[in-house]
Amino acid sequence: MLNTPLIDRHIALGAKMAEFAGYNMPISYSSITEEHHAVRKAVGVFDVSHMGEFIVKGKDATLFLQSVTSNDVAKLKIGDVQYSCLPNAKGGIVDDLLVYRLEEDMCAEGEQAFMLVVNASNEKKDWRWLKRHSKTFEVKLTNISSKTGLIAVQGPKAAEALQKLTEIDLKGMVYYTFKKGRFAGCNNVIVSATGYTGAGGFEIYARNKDIAKIWDKVFKNGEKYGIKPCGLGARDTLRLEKGFCLYGHEIDDKTSPIEAGLSWITKLNKGVHFPSIERFQKQKTEGVKRKLVGFQLTSERRVPRQGYVIESKRGATIGLVASGTHSPTLDMPIGTGYVKAKFAEPGTVIHIVVGSKKLEATVVKLPFL
């Protein structure tokens, strides 16, 4: 099991640790609920150094990424970030990812450069997929995952808590953009404004040797803003309240981005062929047989879990739960699941099968908040 560069900080803080994607990761420090509320109301910090980062550089960098990702990379300006996915050849998803358009001063004339941020659980799979598909392009791929530390500072007070550590205008940063500069006394740090909590905030990419120093300064400077360390438990409740997909739950290698409500990142008219484009065109034209929906339990307090069967009011099996949790903000059980398309309308009453019990739930529009 691997450790992130911040393992000593987690141990010192008494974090509850567990294996995740091959890494020894903090699940919680105090409680998931307390950490969740800290992010929604103030500011919290996550160690996400387990994520994978790849550099794609070369004369064909844009064309190559257009041919393997679903979104339109050509629309990115330097400093922009884009959410996208890697479709496979069978209509599913290899992984979802972020694409960063990097500055051109790191390239030779006529080249472009990008950073891809992928899920830790899929790093090796993604790397093999990209290397295999890059062979006919003039492009160089570099895996910098093992050299890169990453923390996510999330919450409405994140900009105030961080601003004294950098000359980058944090409050002026537009959603899904990034800046590169000096941060907490460290050079060549990337600060982006994407987020996986829906609470606002920033991601800080730095060299492994710098990330612990940055972590310490972030906490020192954020103390008066109520800053708290947060684990993957709160990260999951936060992302689910906002309806963000998690690979292995809402999306996987058998799930279409159209089914998952990700048509907005599936650009079929960008002029470049990519895997499963014909399947996705057909799904957009004819509709899909199943759809991802959100649901709230109407009376029970039990939490729905991945894989639980979903039934109609009449008892017919119509789908499966993808994710479920108790929402700290709404103080009720919520979940996502795939159901037959005719049961996807908000307001539809469904039942979640838990052993011999059937829990009544109502389909709601995502996100929950």
- Could you read off the pLDDT of 352-365 as tens digits, one per residue? 999 889 999 999 99
pLDDT-derived band at 138, boundaries 50, 70, 90: very high
CB 67 within 8 A of CB 274: yes
Question: 7-49+147-241 with 289-364: one CATH topology?
Answer: no
pLDDT-derived band at 107, boundaries 50, 70, 90: confident
Per-residue pLDDT, 194: 96
- Could you read off the pLDDT of 295-322 as tens digits, one per residue? 999 988 899 999 999 999 999 999 999 9
CB 306 within 8 A of CB 247: no
Question: Whose CA is closest to 150, among 91, 211, 108?
Answer: 211
* Residue that the structure tokens 């560069």 belong to: 5
* pLDDT of 105 above 80: no
CB 316 within 8 A of CB 295: no
Task: Give the whole-number percent of the chain exceeding pLDDT 90.
Answer: 97
State the average pLDDT over residues 52-64: 97
* pLDDT of 47 above 80: yes
State the average pLDDT over residues 254-279: 98
Residue 80: other Cβ atoms inside 10 A: 15
State the average pLDDT over residues 253-271: 98
Which runs of consecutive H residues, i.e. helices, occur in 153-223?
158-162, 208-222
- Domain boundaries defined on the chain: 7-49+147-241, 289-364
CB 300 within 8 A of CB 312: no
Per-residue pLDDT, 110: 84
Q: Which CATH superfamily is domain 7-49+147-241 in?
A: Probable tRNA modification gtpase trme; domain 1 (3.30.1360.120)
CATH code, 289-364: 2.40.30.110
Task: Give the whole-number percent of the chain exceeding pLDDT 70.
Answer: 100
* pLDDT of 15 above 90: yes
Per-residue pLDDT, 106: 72
State the average pLDDT over residues 255-281: 98
Per-residue pLDDT, 235: 98
> b vs e for 112-122, b when ≥16 Cβ sit within 10 Å of the residue's Cβ?
bbbbbbbbbbb
- Could you read off the pLDDT of 113-129 as tens digits, one per residue? 999 999 999 999 999 99
Q: Name the strand (E) or helix (H) holding 191.
A: strand 186-192
Q: Is it true that the peptide bond before 367 is cis, omega within 30 degrees of 0?
A: yes
Residue 295: other Cβ atoms inside 10 A: 28
State the average pLDDT over residues 58-78: 98
State the average pLDDT over residues 317-344: 98
* pLDDT of 37 above 80: yes
* pLDDT of 104 above 90: no
